[in-house]
Amino acid sequence: MTTLFISDLHLDDERPFITELFEQFLRGEAREAQALYILGDLFESWIGDDDDAPLAQRVQDALAELSRSGVTTYFMAGNRDFLAGPRFAQRSGVTLLDDPACVDLAGVPTLLMHGDTLCTDDLAYQKFRAQVRDPAWQQAFLAQPLEQRRAFAAQARAQSRLHTGSAMAQIMDVTDAAVHDALRTGGAQRLIHGHTHRPARHHVELGDRVAERVVLGDWYEQGSVLRVDGSVIELACLR
Ligand code: MN
């Protein structure tokens, strides 16, 4: 049976067709899978598990339906939806994963990450990340009314667009050093991550052995999905 991996859907009211594509995927291919792993940035933004916006409700309903059908679904937070917590997990029927997480995939020790922590040359982003992952910051943020949090998310999104436009493409990608460290620390043979929106399969020379790094693509236009069935791996596009 197939295990599926997706990330970087960036679900948002601005792109309703991607939400529809995701719902079709959950009702179709995902139903036949053994497990589904969502490796971060499922949402363009997530302002807290108490969000009552229609999109948040709709996506949680769709995930809950998949989980009720018996497909184990895992969720790892990305840099956009890092506030997705236990209430989201319970409502959606998903199991939260830490970043990084090591899993055994048909005998292959596999490291799962969102991917943002691998972009160690992007110092401005890493500084921002340290701030928003601080429990005290999160507690203060979640104490604000929903409207205020929505305004903050909109502003953070605009800033991120500016940064992505101005930062050099190479500092927005992973560094070899961070990839090597991650694979060595985890003792992994394979690393699967998203975040960079550069879908590909790379061989990684570790000196004593060769590992593989699989990068999931985004869902802005393509609907990237990784299918792993035993030793057969396929990185595909839904459209
Ligand atoms: Mn990301």
- Asked, as a colleague might, if the bond just before 135 is cis with ω within 30 of 0, I would say no
For tokens 């009720």, name the residue.
68
User: pLDDT digits over 194-226, tens only?
Assistant: 999 999 999 999 988 999 999 999 998 779 999
From the CB of residue 13, how many other CB atoms can be counted at a distance below 10 Å?
10
Is the pLDDT reported for residue 185 higher than 90? no
What residues have CB less than 8 Å from 37, skipping those under 6 apart? 3, 4, 5, 6, 73, 74, 76, 97, 112, 192
- The secondary structure element, H or E, covering residue 97 is strand 95-97
Return the SS3 of 9: coil
Is the pLDDT reported for residue 158 higher than 90? no
Tell me how far the alpha carbon of residue 193 lies from the centroid of ligand 1, in angstroms.
Answer: 10
User: pLDDT digits over 87-111, tens only?
Assistant: 999 999 999 999 999 999 999 999 9
pLDDT at site 169: 72
For tokens 């050093």, name the residue.
177
Tell me how far the alpha carbon of residue 64 lies from the centroid of ligand 1, in angstroms.
Answer: 23
Tell me how far the alpha carbon of residue 192 lies from the centroid of ligand 1, in angstroms.
Answer: 13
What residues have CB less than 8 Å from 219, skipping those under 6 apart? 6, 8, 9, 10, 11, 18, 21, 22
Number of residues that make up the chain: 239
Tell me how far the alpha carbon of residue 196 lies from the centroid of ligand 1, in angstroms.
Answer: 7
For tokens 């930062």, name the residue.
167
* Tokens coding 126: 């890493």
Backbone angles phi, psi at 73, to 5 degrees: -120, 130
- Residues 16-49, buried b or exposed e (16+ Cβ, 10 A)? eebbebbbebbeebbeebebbbbbbbbbbbbbbb
For tokens 């236009």, name the residue.
221
User: pLDDT digits over 26-74, tens only?
Assistant: 999 999 999 999 999 999 999 999 999 999 999 999 999 999 999 999 9
Distance (Å, rounded) from C-alpha 37 to C-alpha 3?
8
pLDDT at site 208: 87
Tell me how far the alpha carbon of residue 208 lies from the centroid of ligand 1, in angstroms.
Answer: 31
Tell me how far the alpha carbon of residue 238 lies from the centroid of ligand 1, in angstroms.
Answer: 20
The pTM (predicted TM-score) of the whole model is 0.95
Tell me how far the alpha carbon of residue 41 lies from the centroid of ligand 1, in angstroms.
Answer: 5
Tell me how far the alpha carbon of residue 10 lies from the centroid of ligand 1, in angstroms.
Answer: 9
Where do the domains of the chain lie, and which CATH numbers do they carry? Answer: 3-238 (3.60.21.10)
Tell me how far the alpha carbon of residue 78 lies from the centroid of ligand 1, in angstroms.
Answer: 5
Tell me how far the alpha carbon of residue 108 lies from the centroid of ligand 1, in angstroms.
Answer: 25
Strands 224-229 and 3-6: antiparallel
- The stretch 116-141 carries a mean pLDDT of 94
Tell me how far the alpha carbon of residue 84 lies from the centroid of ligand 1, in angstroms.
Answer: 14
Tell me how far the alpha carbon of residue 132 lies from the centroid of ligand 1, in angstroms.
Answer: 14
Cβ neighbourhood burial of 193 (10 Å; 0-12, 13-18, 19+): buried
pLDDT at site 164: 75
Task: Identify the CA nearest to 96 among candidates 141, 50, 58, 49.
Answer: 49
* Tokens coding 225: 């999905």
pLDDT at site 98: 97
- The stretch 139-162 carries a mean pLDDT of 91
Tell me how far the alpha carbon of residue 7 lies from the centroid of ligand 1, in angstroms.
Answer: 8
pLDDT at site 172: 83
Tell me how far the alpha carbon of residue 32 lies from the centroid of ligand 1, in angstroms.
Answer: 27
* Tokens coding 96: 């939260």
For tokens 């990608």, name the residue.
173
- The stretch 159-165 carries a mean pLDDT of 78
